[in-house]
Amino acid sequence: MMKFLFNILILIVITFSFSSCRTITYGTDPALIGELYNFKKILVKGGDFWITTYQKITDPDMPYVFYIEGDGAAFNGKYRVSHNPTPRNQMMLNLAAMDKRPNVVYVARPCQYTPMDLNPTCTNQYWTGKRLSDDSVQALNETINSINRNGKFSIIGYSGGGGIAVLIAARNSNVKDIITIAGNLDIQSFTTFHSVTPMIGSLNPIDYANQVRDIPQLHLSGGKDKVVPPFIADKFVQEASSTCVKQQIFVDATHRDGWKQIWEYIYTKPLICY
């Protein structure tokens, strides 16, 4: 009998160990991430688009935080436009899953994840030249407003989603603070650096730097990021010229790697102006 109970105890310990160590990787299916971390997939109407969101709402009376996805799989290679901009890795959703605040919402960009037959407006312009267009920004702003219901909220954007975060803040007085990760905050400098076609039809976040300069902001850059190098965020910070707007460079981070390891340290720090 004692041997039987001992074996059961060992089984429980082993099972607990495996479940405790279960982690998600950047390549994990988003539905699995949602299931593991109690996020519900909800399509929200924003402008002419159905926007895919993953929501974990545990106390609706508390502030919300919104994670805005990057540009996703906009291109296959440098010049060949993809047929679907849905991200191939889920770094941003992974970071949202790490966030222990009560109300966390991951927001995909227009035309990502949502079946194309639900979004007839989607053309590849929305993940190339118009990825930061006025109607894209407004669609995401409306999506956030319909979830947030007029409360103050934090916004976090990755890559092109960092630019979206700034552009939303420029038109939404409920934004209380901004974090960008490898944020494309100056699309003119970005396209010049990469020697690619200008983003005709997009708004340039740096043009709104002065408008959002009183909102506490932290712009994170990777020292090894060859997609959105640190000088782009630095130009935005210089343009804002505000004690509220800061940049932090993590020397070993790339565009996609190195953020998960430091994320809890970042998002738990209060953003203040000084």
Residues 161, 187, 27, 99, Cα dihedral to 10° = -30
Question: In whole angstroms, what is the distance from residue 166 CA to residue 39 CA?
Answer: 25
User: Residues 219, 184: contact at Cβ < 8 Å?
Assistant: no
Strands of the sheet containing 49-57, edge to edge, are 40-46, 49-57, 103-107, 64-68, 153-158, 175-181, 217-222, 245-250
CB 67 within 8 A of CB 179: no
Would you give per-residue pLDDT tens digits along the chain (274 residues)?
444 333 433 333 333 333 333 444 445 678 777 777 889 999 999 999 999 999 999 999 999 999 999 998 877 766 788 888 899 889 999 999 999 999 999 999 999 999 999 999 999 999 999 999 999 999 999 999 999 988 999 999 999 999 999 999 999 999 999 999 999 999 999 999 999 999 999 999 999 999 999 999 999 999 999 999 999 999 999 999 999 999 999 999 999 999 999 999 999 999 999 8
Report the residue count for the chain: 274
Distance, in Å, from the CA atom of 25 to the CA atom of 213, rounded to the nearest integer, reads 35
pLDDT for residue 189: 98
Burial of 227 (0-12, 13-18, 19+ CB in 10 A): middle
Q: Where are the alpha helices (DSSP H) in the chain?
A: 2-21, 30-36, 91-98, 134-148, 160-169, 187-194, 230-240, 263-267
pLDDT score for 27: 52
pLDDT at 179 (0 to 100): 99
140: its two tokens: 């995401």
How much is the pLDDT for 76? 75
Per the rule left: phi > 0, alpha: psi between -120 and 50, beta: everything else, 269 is: beta
Specify the fold of 28-267: Rossmann fold (3.40.50)
pTM (2 d.p.):
0.89
- Say which residue the tokens 């926007």 belong to: 51
